[in-house]
Structure 1
Amino acid sequence: MTQREIFFVANEVNELGGVGRWQEQMARLLSERGHRVRIIGIAPPEVPMDLGARPPYETLTLYERRPPGRHRPHFPLGRLHPAARIQEADRRAAAERLSSVFRAARPGAVIIVTQVWAMEWVALADTAGHPVIGMSHESFAASRRSSRFGRVRRYYRDVDRLLVLTQEDADLWTGEGLNNVGFLPNPLPVTPSAPSPRTEKVVASIGRLSHAKGVDLLLDVWAEAAPRQPGWILRVYGAGEHEAALRRQCTDLGLDDSVEWAGQTDNVIGALGRSSVFVQSSRGEGFPLVLLEAMACGVPCVAFDCSPGVREIVRNGEDGLLARHGDVSELACHLVRLMADENLRDAMGERARENVLRFAPDVITRRWEELFDFLER
């Protein structure tokens, strides 16, 4: 195995969230296999994630404060405006810091740009002939609904590889005229030594209390499901800007006796170990780590089929149940089915725990190393 220098260039070194958790795990996994890993962030995080006292990789942040993206703000005189010229000079100075780091790397180094905003700086830098891998951690559909769609096509068109999370999304990007697309799923974040006993009458939801995560839809689902299975609790883990509105919705629906607001948790495995079913009601997802975690804990999942990543993880009818995207009543029926049938919960939970091993960290890390070797040829 060739030991390499590997650079992760991201919006932030340690922003709390799915991309941040994936990045930290991959940096740790590759470091453990003898690679020298550095994470370079463009800006400081808004909500930092604890990386531990002595992570096995180096970190660097280019800016002390978050700079604007290249496509904003719009000045009256465009690039001739004095403020725009100052920002562009500042951006080029930051890109030169990147260039100096890349130039100092030994042959065989690889640059992995985990988010397209960060690619705006890498595009200005001298990558010193090292292969560049650009990543999109969201589904094609979610990207298409955002400003990132055009930026992915612009900034990732000429990188050595554009990596997405599923074959289905890779095919869709190829259909947009990109001929450098591949896919690699996220690795399993944890492998608990024992599954959840699935004895508590608890349905767990874990995620930010935001519009994208669809907790408002989940409350509508619970309003249909809870009366059909008395004694069960929906335990909602998470915090966010919509919390007050969601609590009011819960009260208006008469659900206060069967919904617990557990707040943000740093112990996802502990939370899942006290649950018998996991539910995800997101309006959109990439390749959600929490589904992998729930399955690793032997907790069967019920979710909206909102992206290729979700249906790649959950095998509908085998190790979990998927409802049509946004179909509240169907999701409620799936929940009731698992809440009512202990044997079905146990069977699906055990199959989930077995099936999720196809995303085991060593399996995914080897695929990354194979990609590095391929790009070097």
Structure 2
Amino acid sequence: MKIRYLMLHAYGMGGTIRTVVNQANAMAAAGHDVELVSVVRRRDNPRFTLDPRVRITALVDQRGGTRPDSVGRRAWRRVRGKIVPRGEFAADYFTERVEWAAMEYVSRLRDGILVTTRPALNLIAARRAPGNVVKVAQEHMNLSAYPDSIRREIARHYGRFDAVTVLTRTNRLEYQRLLPKTPIVQIPNAVDRVDQERSQQVNPVVVAAGRLVPQKGFDLLIQAFAQVVQEHPDWRLRIFGTGPRRSQLEGLVAQHGLGGHVELPGRTERLDKALAAASVYALSSRFEGLPMVMIEAMTHALPVVAYDCPTGPRDVLTDGVDGLLVPARDVDALAAALSRVIGDRELRVRMGKAAVRASRAYAPELVMPLWEDLFSELLAGERVADNFWSAH
């Protein structure tokens, strides 16, 4: 099979980038012809390791910096019409030059499978890719997280895809209601591996990780931890990641007098070691798709304390078995749940063992064949089942 993955910035860092690279590597290892196409390029080398059999190309090289488009964005929109709507989280990337490059690329394809990986690229593929190309839209975020402008365009154009893939059962039901005539296929992201070093539950450390952006709710986590340390002053919180909210989070740490209790160490290349050295994983997101770092933490036998946010945590965790779910954005409830697991090592050990068992459903040897099966059925012209996968 000839498979092309179209990404915004394949050279960058992020959960979606890593999972798509993992898919591309797996398909190449299975003997398929795989190309990873990056709409923009801002680095010399990809951050994630590519199988040497995966070709990587870029449409717009921005390593020398971005430059103004030759035609004003508003004027160009009047001529070409609106492809990437306002409200797309990466809309600022799609200047005239970038959007045109993506449209030109997909319109010139003649065969094989095109996999697009975010709403902007999905909409471009839906409207510009020829009918003899098998089109698969990947959605890595829940539908309700998008503004109305995005949901309207999804409803209008996603019916042109041969399949739309989503990460969780909740996502699948959302998209089925919006697109009742389009195959909505649930395939989760896979972890790198499930046989990871396990936490020994000896270090008084709670760990969290992700982009330092409002979505991840680290401001809420810091406020909750301010309550936790009053009862458990020997415990520490480590939040790994970079992003635009770092200074605000540092200010919040100072405001609550948590300088000796909360660390923001930035990005780490060895998050696996940091997870194995911790005793609890905290997920404080306001919304999610499928929280992969949380599942990776579970492979390290970490119990999880998570907001029951839309969507993801409830699709993975069984409350009271492998973690605790608390009402979304409830700082007091998050603090109480953290204090509960921190104060009970036996509970942490029991939940950690259950977390390892639950994480096995996301093993690459189980997930990656689902992609191969999906692509084979679509190439054969078969209508695929709406649900490929079940964790239980």
- After TM superposition, the score normalised by the length of structure 2 is 0.84
**1:10 aligned partner:** 7
- Indicate whether 1:320 and 2:323 are aligned: yes
* Cα 1:328–1:91 shift into 2, 3 Å: closer
**Any conservation in 2 of the 1:185–1:359 contact (CA below 8 Å)?**
yes
- Equivalent in the alignment of 2:159: 157
2-side partners of 1:34 and 1:136: how far apart? Answer: 25
Change in Cα spacing, 1:53 to 1:116, as seen in structure 2 (3 Å) is closer
User: 2:205 aligns to what?
Assistant: 202
Check if 1:140 corresponds to 2:148.
no
Aligned-residue Cα RMSD (Å) equals 2.7
Is residue 47 of structure 2 the alignment partner of residue 79 of structure 1? no
What stretches of structure 1 move > 6 A for 4+ residues in a row?
A: 66-69, 87-90
State whether residues 15 and 47 of structure 1, in contact with CA within 8 Å, keep that contact through their aligned partners in structure 2: no
> Equivalent residue for 1:33?
30
Q: Distance in 1 between matches of 2:321 and 2:209?
A: 22
**Structure 1: which amino acid aligns with 2:245?**
H
Change (3 A) 1:161 1:94: closer
C-alpha displacement of 1:250: 1.0
Find 2:168's aligned residue among 166, 169, 178: 166
Quick one: distance in 1 between partners of 2:139 and 2:328? 22
> What are the residue-to-residue correspondences of 1:82-101 with 2, within 5 Å?
95-100=103-108
* Structure 2 CA distance for partners of 1:228 and 1:355, relative to 1, 3 Å: same
Among 258, 277, 280, the residue aligned to 1:277:
280
1:247 aligns with 2:250: yes
Q: Output the CA distance in 1 between the equivalents of 2:100 and 2:243.
A: 35
Taking only the aligned residue pairs, the percentage that are identical comes to 28
Q: How far apart in 1 are the matches of 2:314 and 2:353?
A: 18
Q: Which is further off, 150-159 or 285-294?
A: 150-159
Give the SS at the match of 1:174. Answer: helix
- CA distance in 1 between counterparts of 2:238 and 2:266 reads 9
Letter of the 1:29 partner, please give it: A
Question: CA shift at 1:55, angstroms?
Answer: 3.6
Cα distance change on mapping 1:127 and 1:197 into 2, 3 Å: farther
Question: Which residue type is aligned with residue 215 of structure 1?
Answer: F
1:220 aligns to 2:217 (yes or no): no
Q: Which runs of 5+ in 2 are unaligned?
A: 82-94, 383-392
Would you say the 8 A contact 1:99–1:128 is kept in 2? no
The Cα shift of 1:16 comes to 1.1
Which range is displaced more, 15-24 or 147-156?
A: 147-156
**Matched pairs, number:** 361
Deviation larger for 166-175 or 312-321:
166-175
- Deviation, 1:350, is 0.9
Indicate the SS of the match to 2:288: coil
| Residue 347 in structure 1 maps to residue 350 in structure 2 | yes
Structure 1 unmatched runs, 5+: 82-86
Whether the 8 Å CA contact 1:217–1:281 is kept in 2: the answer is yes
User: How far off is 1:254 after superposition?
Assistant: 1.5
How far apart, CA to CA, are the structure 1 residues paired with 2:98 and 2:261? Answer: 53
* Post-superposition offset of 1:196: 1.7
User: Post-superposition shift, 1:43?
Assistant: 1.7
Contact 1:167 1:182 survives alignment (8 Å): no
Question: Deviation of residue 187 (structure 1)?
Answer: 0.9
Q: Measure, in 1, the Cα distance between the counterparts of 2:24 and 2:219.
A: 35
User: Which residue of the partner structure matches residue 232 of structure 1?
Assistant: 235
188-197 vs 270-279, which moves further: 188-197
Distance in 2 between the 1:193 and 1:77 partners? 50
Amino acid at match of 2:152: G
Q: Does the 8 Å CA contact 2:224/2:335 hold for their aligned counterparts?
A: yes
Q: Within 2, Cα distance between the matches of 1:265 and 1:146?
A: 36
> In the aligned structure 2, how far is the partner of 1:125 from the partner of 1:189?
34
Give the structure-1-normalised TM-score: 0.88
1:329 to 306, 309, 332: 332
Q: For residues 223 and 93 of structure 1, what CA distance do their matches in structure 2 show?
A: 48
Distance between the aligned counterparts of 2:45 and 2:152, measured in 1? Answer: 28
SS of residue in 2 equivalent to 1:373: helix
Counterpart position of 1:311: 314
Q: How much has 1:73 moved relative to structure 2? A: 3.5
Residue in 2 aligned with 1:290? 293
